[in-house]
Structure 1
């Protein structure tokens, strides 16, 4: 797993915003607040803790430092609020 330089600036305890798709209705996405934590499977890596689940923090994840940034990107990608 490769962590970009952008994600290298995150620290455990940081609050971030991510896009989250409803697992039951795939065409529904929301912006969700999440926490940056140490990955329990690999303490040398960071993870996003969201809905009682750990997701490795990788380049494949859209992570935003502010809700406003996430909302702007969300509108750009999904075209609705």
Structure 2
């Protein structure tokens, strides 16, 4: 997680907490954790989410899309 910097725009694979079979690639921002300044957080949907090692966070949409397609077995259409 050391490779992300405050202010960086990232893409995350985000599961909808209300519909477990729904996931999307969402744009988010890396920010300083609001209660622990030594940690980073993801700012997504007007909320702070602690940045964790197992989060699916990517520097580009294409990287996120590649894993998304693998995880959810979707075919990319050209």
> How high is the TM-score relative to the length of structure 1?
0.87
Secondary structure of 1:59's counterpart equals coil
RMSD: 1.1
Structure that is richer in strand per residue: 1
Q: 1:71 aligns with which of 56, 59, 65?
A: 65
Secondary structure of 2:32's counterpart equals strand
Structure that is richer in helix per residue: 1
1-side partners of 2:15 and 2:4: how far apart?
23
Structure 1 stretches of at least 4 aligned residues deviating more than 6 Å after TM superposition = none
Q: Unpaired segments of 5 or more residues in structure 1?
A: 1-6
